[in-house]
Chain A
Amino acid sequence: MSAPVLELRDVTVTLPTDRGPLRPVDGVSFAVAPGKTLAVVGESGCGKSVTALAIMGLLPQGSRIGGAIRFDGQELTALDAEAMRGKRGAELAMIFQEPMTSLNPAFTAGEQVAEALRLHQNLSPAAAMDRAVEMLARVRIPDAGRRARQYPHQLSGGMRQRVMIAMALACRPRLLIADEPTTALDVTVQAQILALIDELKAETGTAVLLITHDLGVVADHADEVAVMYAGRVAERAPAARLFANPQHPYTVGLLGAAPSLEGGAERLASIEGTVPDLRNPPPGCRFAPRCPFAVARCAEQPPLAPMGEGHLAACWRAPLDSLLVAA
């Protein structure tokens, strides 16, 4: 495996809130290699987006980041705002969950794609617009020249997400963070958008951090998976391994809760209960209160322990094989 483009080591994020500081990300580590896709999976509220924003340097003012975020060998947390700005949009790009609101309603699609090119590649307005139209064509927007002159409200949701992708990839970034890029789109469009990201990734060697709560998406598009629960990584594994042999009860639950393509086939019951209050997390393993396998020892925090080739799980009871058979 080549040197990772992005590596997080023990990253914590503390956000200022009206009710005092909040730590939605608490000791997260993972890495993404060039041309590969790492999926970050977990229920809503697990800290996936906050992790992404921390990498991008887009956390709200007054937030604090602990640990290390290395990007191409450079420590991002040590960069000043100006240097970070130079990376954003050029080497690090991000697309968001809400294509309907993520584009500026006051500017045309073409202008918004061209803007990044003018900024980072010093292109003239005309040259940038030409490139923008090219990019729009590459993300398969039909009649790109005309669409480039249209405003977001004239485009469908899928089309807007394509514009976002064109914008993000215009400067050929080393890393693309896609935060639930298809959650707001209907199923056929979802598949098209994810296929498009895969294709562009193969073409440009961009590493992809794909954030999702949908394990169905992960199976088809990720090389590796990091499962997050309540601000921590519960399990990390190559995608195929994770599906074949999950080693954290939370992952097992998620797999049970994942919509299966065959339909009908009832697997494990979905997880009972909800994500814990981050202001007041349970001591030790944060999943313990919802875990069918919890034992006394779970009041202590389990470390991420190796479970085989590239496979880590933070559970005292792993490997789970014998337990799962019993269940």
Chain B
Amino acid sequence: MIAFLLRRVGQIIPTLIILSFLIFGLQQLMPGDPAVILAGEERGDPQVLAQIRAELKLDRPIWEQYLNWVGNVVQGDFGFSWRIRMPVAELILQKLPVTAQLATMAFIIGVVIGVPLGILSATRRDTPADFLANGIALFGISTPNFWLGIMMILLFSVQLGWLPPSGYVPLWEDPVQSLSTTIMPAFVLGTGVASVLMRHTRAAMLTALSQDYVRTARAKGLAEKVVVWKHALRNALIPVVTLGTIEFGRLLAGAVLTEQIFTIPGFGKLVVDAVFNRDYPVVQGVVLATALIFVVLSLVADLLYMAINPRLRTA
């Protein structure tokens, strides 16, 4: 167990180093000179541009810029936003809880819909209920989030007036208002998760239900719901939990478009604005933080997998 953890953490370090190259390197390929964009009205004045470049150390060789950045990041300093004029770390800490709330709500919606639907369609295989569940999953996967988001705004905000169409109120300021501003985007994001979980739960349950131990459970005289919800599900969940953790990571990282539609000031909006403004430190910081979250979550997924799989726990 300890050995496993050490080995996993050992793998993380080279992963992060390669990631830092990619993040930095790809950014150099973005068109547009940040100095020109930052100079705004004065973009015609070469002296101003030179000054900005010197100030941001953009006049230094690229490898020096890279080492500077990495050196600072290692010490916990993510740099300073060129545009918003705030430390990047602070910006991230400010936006992360917003996205985390959205992702958590979406994830709960995804699990609550996806897992039972998967179980239901596996136990009623090839019945109308199964076809319906598969239809819902197909709908959830193939519907673009922006379209679903706009439709929901039109229905619940414009037509019915039940929910605010946009904006965000922090959870600790006004929980009810906070939930009503996030429920629609969370639902939009949750449908995708529900579809993925439904399909995987269904497949895993079908596999589990055909195993010999299920026949043993029935031979014991257990009620069918115990056979399904205890004996089969306990085994089917092992792969689904891993997948769920990765889906959660995708929610944290991939809410960009949905956050734009509902103008939720989270991670997605932060990075989109930063890209348009060529605010390199912010882009680098957010992408790196996202990658870190992913790496940590995949470690969590492995640990959960071990925790619920006796074969690994007691090996």
Contact = CB atoms under 8 A, between A and B. Distances in A.
Interface size class of A (residues with CB under 8 A): 20 to 34
A252 B220 CA distance: 37
A104 B213 contact: yes
Contacts of A89: 219-222
A116 interface: yes
Contact of A96 (B216, B220, B309, B311): B216
Interface stretch (A7-15, A80-88, A128-136, A290-298): A80-88
B215 interface: yes
A210 interface: no
Interface in A42-66: 56, 58
A85 B221 contact: yes
Given A101-B211, A151-B310, A151-B311, A106 B234 contact: yes
Interface size class of B (residues with CB under 8 A): 20 to 34
Interface string A106-147: 111000100110011000000000000000000000000000
Contact of A106 (B216, B221, B223, B310): B310
A105 interface: yes
Contacts, number: 75
Most chain A CB inside 10 Å of its own CB: which residue of B221, B231, B235: B221
A120 B221 contact: yes
B220 A102 contact: no
Interface string A88-102: 111001101010011
B217 interface: yes
B219 A85 contact: no
B212 A96 contact: yes
Contact of B220 (A108, A116, A151): A116
Contacts of A85: 221-223
Nearest to B216: A102
Contact of A58 (B213, B215, B231, B235): B215
Contacts of A108: 310
Given A151-B311, A151-B314, A153-B311, A105 B213 contact: yes
B223 A103 contact: no
A156 interface: no
A167 interface: yes
Interface in B243-294: none
Nearest to B213: A104
Contacts of A104: 213, 216-217, 231, 234-235
Contacts of A106: 231, 234-235, 238, 308-310
B235 A88 contact: no
A116 B226 CA distance: 12
Contacts of B218: 58, 88
Contacts of B311: 105, 151, 153
B309 to A, nearest CB: 8
24 contacts: A56-B219, A85-B223, A88-B220, A88-B221, A89-B219, A89-B221, A89-B222, A94-B219, A96-B212, A102-B215, A102-B216, A103-B213, A106-B234, A106-B308, A107-B234, A108-B310, A116-B220, A116-B221, A119-B220, A120-B221, A150-B314, A151-B311, A154-B314, A164-B216
Given A88-B219, A106-B308, 16 more contacts: A96-B216, A101-B211, A102-B213, A102-B216, A103-B213, A104-B234, A105-B213, A112-B216, A115-B222, A116-B220, A119-B220, A119-B221, A119-B222, A153-B310, A167-B216, A167-B220
Interface of B: 211-213, 215-223, 231, 234-235, 238, 308-311, 314
